[in-house]
Amino acid sequence: MDKLLTLRTARFSRQINTATLLRLALALAITLLLMLGSLSLGKVPLSPLTVLHILFSSEDTSLAFIVEQLRLPRMLLAALVGAALAVSGVILQSIIRNPLASPDLLGISSGASAAAVLYLSFFSVVLGPHWLPLAAMLGAGLAALAIYLLAWKQGTSPLRLVLIGVGVSAMLAAVTTFILVFSPLTTTLSAYVWLTGSVYGASWAEPRELAGWLLAILPLLLLVARHVRVQQLDDHLAQGIGVRVQWLRAGLLLVSVALAGAAVAWGGAMAFVGLIAPHIAKRLVASGFGGQAAMSALVGANLVMLADLTGRTLFLPLDLPAGIFVAVLGTPFFLYLLIKQRH
């Protein structure tokens, strides 16, 4: 059996699995190494020692500009986007009790995409690009609200949420295509890049704004996280032990939508991150939502950072969107899960 570390105060008691803690520490070390590699590689390759010297010194040189103004904000944005999508995915898979559940398959990302493409096509010229994240988050929220209301029948069930979510996702994908057909040619290319998922051209403003949104969501996540395991029980059993199932499900769905909406707003419609990362995390951390969510965040961050690093270094001088490489990994993984569920 795994050893448990007990933390106890007058008002707080928590048991921590030491094996989970060690695995999280190892995953964090891998994440930091990947970050260092991401800052080192590019059109101007740098040694890791040079990068560390730049980060911990105040020298104002051309190399410092490359690391601190070009690569570092982009890398941090990729990490935050991947982490938010991954935690959103692990919450959805827990409350819907379906291993195929993820923000992009259940209509949340599709709602953000439709709203963002509408804004890029017809409003960005007048209002500017600064309101794009708000439009994407509003679209994600409206899509989730529509799914929840359509699935309501004396409460919601995981099966109805899945079926309605897939239907709404397909409808919103058609709406997005319709908008692109009638959009001005000058904005169509930027809309397609955004739909693929990209952190290209990120400045310090983007990761700071996204980090602010995620910090605002964090207290709500901590509030409902301890009840996630109960949500995985049968509804009647959960109600029998005094759990307000529908309120808890709505709260968890709200947190998932907020995380996915914020990630898609700043990183584009990055598909499959919320599907792949939770499955990898659950293989590394056997039980406990807190450990699985933390591991999912690290795996998701590494996945998007690695995809972005591949996109900007493997095909130089081209700089390809990170979403392409996430989809290359995600599509066969999704097919594998389908086959596994079939049997």
Phi, psi angle pair for 15, to nearest 5°:
-105, 130
pLDDT average, residue stretch 107-130? 82
Q: How far apart are CA 67 and CA 227, in angstroms?
A: 42
- pLDDT mean over 61-70: 87
Whether the pLDDT of residue 24 is over 70: the answer is yes
Residue 38 has pLDDT above 60, yes or no: yes
Least confident of 9-23, 279-293, 326-340: 9-23
Range of weakest confidence among 98-107, 236-245, 307-316: 236-245
pLDDT of residue 228: 73
Residues 6+ apart with CB under 8 A from 154: none
- Model confidence at 343: pLDDT above 60: no
**What pLDDT was estimated at residue 124?**
76
pLDDT at 10: 59
Average pLDDT, the chain: 82
In whole angstroms, give the CA distance from residue 304 to residue 78.
Answer: 6
Identify the band that residue 6 occupies on the pLDDT scale cut at 50, 70 and 90: low
Lowest mean pLDDT among 162-166, 203-207, 209-213, 293-297: 162-166
The three-state (H, E, C) secondary structure of 38-85, written as one string: HHHCCCCCCCHHHHHHHHCCCCCCHHHHHHHHHHHHHHHHHHHHHHHH
Q: Does residue 35 surpass a pLDDT of 90?
A: yes
* Mean pLDDT, range 227-243, rounded to an integer: 63
pLDDT reading at 12 higher than 60: no
Residue 297: what pLDDT? 94
Q: What gap in Å lies between CA 217 and CA 259, rounded to an integer?
A: 7
When pLDDT is averaged across residues 186-192 and rounded to a whole number, the result is 74
At residue 302, the pLDDT reads 95
* Domains of the chain, each with CATH number or no CATH: 63-342 (1.10.3470.10)
Residue 232 pLDDT more than 80? no
More confident residue, 315 or 98: 315
Is residue 86 within 8 A of residue 262, CB to CB? The reply is: no
The answer to whether 197 and 321 have CB atoms below 8 angstroms apart is yes
Mean pLDDT of 142-162: 78
**Position 48, amino acid:** P
Q: Which residue has the higher pLDDT, 294 or 228?
A: 294
- pTM for the whole structure: 0.88
